[in-house]
Amino acid sequence: MKVRKRNGSIQAFSIDKIRLTLECISDDLNQPLTGSDLSLLTEEIERKVIQTGKSIIDSAEIKKIVVEVLEKLGFKRIAKAYDEFDKSKY
C-alpha cells in the first residue's frame, strides 16, 4: 500500500513511522505508551488502513484513522495532540 502525502508525493505505507510518532507525542505529554499499548494501537490502525481497500491512501485519511483509534481505545489526550501534530517538530 502507498500513501499520498500532502505535497502530492507517494511513499510506501509504514506503520513504524506512525508508531515512532505516537511514541514521541506520548513522551512529550508525559504519558508514555507501553510496548503493549503501542502494539495494540498499531495493529488496530494498520487493520483499519488495510480495510479501506485502497492501493493509495491519503495521509489525511490515515491521520483520521489514527485519531479515531486513539480515542476509541481511551487515549484522548494523545489523540488530540496527534491531530494537532506538526511533523516539523520532530
What pTM does this model have?
A: 0.90
The DSSP bridge pattern shows strands 2-4 and 56-58 to be parallel
State percent of the chain over pLDDT 90. 91
Indicate the pLDDT class of residue 90, thresholds 50, 70 and 90: very low
Residue 27 CA: distances (Å) to CA of 5, 31, 88: 25, 6, 17
Cα separation of 22 and 11, whole Å? 19
Task: Please tell me the predicted confidence (pLDDT) of residue 47.
Answer: 97
38-78: pLDDT as tens digits: 999 999 999 999 999 999 999 999 999 999 999 999 999 99
